[in-house]
């Protein structure tokens, strides 16, 4: 899906923090615990917004994750791990810290909600070979995330054939109660999907602002991309009209300190 989000310098700041911690931690066996703990600033982000899909209440986390409290289920979409290294192989040099930043944010969400199950909703890796480019510490981090919980990798268009050595199980979609989790949205009722990387553009205090968002109309939802370099597609794009039919859906926009629920018709 679309390229880098504006304000990529935010992730560079995260990367500097993580690289400093990583250099210290790689000299000790505590690296995995460091990744689980994450940064204090990330863990302190606790703003949530309620999202209802087919009668099920979800917590929309400011990170871009969804949490189903009754099932203790956490859902993240479109991690796009190793996107930076994928671009580098094609001669586009990006800061090589996207995987560290993304796993850092994921660890903070896991610490915040302590889910029993995690569903990674497809495109967890940016290309078919991305898992092979993971560093040993990053592999250890993913393995630590999976301890004492079920982990499901949904296959996506970027990673249709995930290897078995990543831990967890691989599926094309998962149904739990009235909810179906899949990568590409079909518009079906009770569906939670990713793939489109929704973002919303709004005008506030005389200036324009574009942020990632959850797109939801109460019957179906499209999740924002979780990955640091994942980018986004405007919710007024025709691709969303195929899912929601009308502009009668909401954009739950990821702000700096809280989520903002805005009617799609007010976005542009």
The domains of the chain are located at 9-27+48-266
Gap between the Cα atoms of 131 and 107, Å rounded: 18
Q: Which of 29, 41, 36, 70 is nearest to 53 (CA)?
A: 70
Gap between the Cα atoms of 43 and 33, Å rounded: 14
CA distances from 139 to 24, 31, 48 (A): 18, 11, 29
Per DSSP, the residues of 12-55 read HHHHHHHHHHHHHHTTSTTHHHHHHH--HHHHT---EEEEEETT
Residue 58 backbone dihedrals phi, psi, to 5 degrees: -120, 150
Gap between the Cα atoms of 22 and 240, Å rounded: 39
Residue whose entry in the numeric block shows the structure tokens 């880098």: 4
Residues of the chain with pLDDT under 70: 1-48, 86-89, 126, 130
Q: What angle do CA 113, 194, 158 make, to 5 degrees?
A: 110
Gap between the Cα atoms of 68 and 57, Å rounded: 7
Q: Which residues pair with 119 in a beta bridge?
A: 75, 152
Distance, C-alpha 200 to centroid of its chain: 16
């Amino acid at each position: 899906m679309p390229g880098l989000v504006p304000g990529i310098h935010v992730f560079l700041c995260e990367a500097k923090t993580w690289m400093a911690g990583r250099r210290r931690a790689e000299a000790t066996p505590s690296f995995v615990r460091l990744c689980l703990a994450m940064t204090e600033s990330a863990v302190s982000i606790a703003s949530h917004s309620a999202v209802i899909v087919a009668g099920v209440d979800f917590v929309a986390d400011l990170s871009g994750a969804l949490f189903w409290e009754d099932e203790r289920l956490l859902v993240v979409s479109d991690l796009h791990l190793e996107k930076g290294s994928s671009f580098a192989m094609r001669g586009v040099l990006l800061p090589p810290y996207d995987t560290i930043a993304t796993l850092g944010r994921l660890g903070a969400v896991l610490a915040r909600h302590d889910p029993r199950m995690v569903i990674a909703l497809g495109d967890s890796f940016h290309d078919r070979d991305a898992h092979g480019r993971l560093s040993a510490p990053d592999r250890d981090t993913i393995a630590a995330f999976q301890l004492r919980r079920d982990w499901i990798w949904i296959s996506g268009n970027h990673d249709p054939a995930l290897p078995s050595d990543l831990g967890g199980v691989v599926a094309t979609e998962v149904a739990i109660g009235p909810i179906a989790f899949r990568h590409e949205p079909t518009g079906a009722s009770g569906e939670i999907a990713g793939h489109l990387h929704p973002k919303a553009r709004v005008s506030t205090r005389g200036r324009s602002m574009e942020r990632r968002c959850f797109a939801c109309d109460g019957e179906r939802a499209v999740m924002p991309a979780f990955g640091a370099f994942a980018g986004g597609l405007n919710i007024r794009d025709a691709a969303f009209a195929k899912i929601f039919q009308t502009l009668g859906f909401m954009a739950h926009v990821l702000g700096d300190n809280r989520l903002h629920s805005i009617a799609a018709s007010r976005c542009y």
